[in-house]
Amino acid sequence: MEVLTVNDLWVKYYTISGIVSAVSGVSFKLRKSEMLAIVGESGSGKSTLGLALLNMVPKPGRIERGEVILDGVNILKSSPREIVKIRGSRISMVFQDPFTTLDPLRKIVDQFEEFLIEHGVDKTRARSIIKEYLEAVGLPERVMYSYPHQLSGGQKQRVSIAMAIALNPQVVVADEPTTALDVIVQKQIMDLVDSIKEKYKSSIVLITHDLALALERADTVMVMYGGNIMEYAGKTELYGNMKHPYTRGLFEALPRILQKTLPKSLPGNPPDLRYPPPGCIFHPRCEFAMEKCKSEKPPLIEVSKDHIVACHLYG
């Protein structure tokens, strides 16, 4: 059963120096209690896509085209009043930096309560929700009465997660939720995200630059480059059967422990999205590029069941 369907989504930023095509025709479906990892490097459009899922792309960005259908409703067509209600209650977001998402001047309980009351929860019920969800993310009750600076990075990220799940949304979008944290805390937070997925049957969109993390944690993985989907497959299928040269390049760039050879790196730089290259957006960095790749954009091809690749090698 799908909880979220994205159809042909296009997002552009209208900057002074030019029009940046951040997301170019992305479509996918998210099932109930599925964790989808969106993997990409800086400039891949993964964070913009995450924001677009909540109809929250900041200016000068604009969603040009497409649909984000949550529970049968295209939220890109929702009125500003409706969308405020939907955010946080039916689809919510956890950001990378737990140090800036919380108001430094207010106690956790006050911020949390305000958020719940804005969504129509009454005050007594709000208190019990706060207690319940702080406990669910493994925080002691006293955290309620703390200010953000009294908490560690990991604790703050737990608070953000508690707020993101408190109204039991169908979808939680987590944009690099562990990137600002140390490895051991990263693991603790990802274990927490896993347990939430199990317990509340939430669907999770994990946005990350780390292919290893995606392959370890997610159910399905979508690899993005320059605003386009390069490859999409179930985790096990992708791990055993990587097709796209970019996905393989990312995988080969991961350090393998104790091998005496360095991981490979991809030559060249990410594309300037004001002037994206014609044809396949990856062709200037691709070692398998053919003539066709320079002029013709490869379509998304289903190479096996639910495994999709945008590459002329498989066309």
- Interface residues toward other proteins, by CB under 8 A: 41-42, 152-155, 182-187, 190, 209-213, 215-217, 249-250, 253-266, 269-270
Q: Which is nearer to other proteins, 115 or 282 (CB)?
A: 282
- Minimum distance between the CB of residue 156 and other proteins, rounded to whole angstroms? 11
- Minimum distance between the CB of residue 188 and other proteins, rounded to whole angstroms? 8
What is the H or E stretch that residue 153 is in? Answer: helix 153-165
Q: Which is nearer to other proteins, 124 or 269 (CB)?
A: 269
Quote the CA–CA distance of 120 and 114 in Å, as a whole number. Answer: 10
- Minimum distance between the CB of residue 61 and other proteins, rounded to whole angstroms? 21
Q: Which amino acid is at 106?
A: R
- Cβ 97 vs Cβ 180: under 8 Å: yes
Q: Give the residue among 155, 125, 160 at the shortest CA–CA distance from 142.
A: 155
- Minimum distance between the CB of residue 106 and other proteins, rounded to whole angstroms? 18
Q: Which is nearer to other proteins, 68 or 190 (CB)?
A: 190
Give the Cβ contact number of residue 189 at 10 Å.
Answer: 23
- Minimum distance between the CB of residue 213 and other proteins, rounded to whole angstroms? 4
Quote the CA–CA distance of 189 and 174 in Å, as a whole number. Answer: 11
Q: Which is nearer to other proteins, 200 or 239 (CB)?
A: 239
Pairing of strands 220-225, 203-208: unpaired
Q: Which is nearer to other proteins, 68 or 242 (CB)?
A: 242
- Cβ 270 vs Cβ 279: under 8 Å: no
- Minimum distance between the CB of residue 190 and other proteins, rounded to whole angstroms? 8
Quote the CA–CA distance of 103 and 149 in Å, as a whole number. Answer: 10
Helix (H, G, I), strand (E, B) or coil at 274: coil
Q: Which is nearer to other proteins, 120 or 263 (CB)?
A: 263
Rounded to 5 degrees, φ, ψ at 129 are -65, -45
Rounded to 5 degrees, φ, ψ at 39 are -105, 135
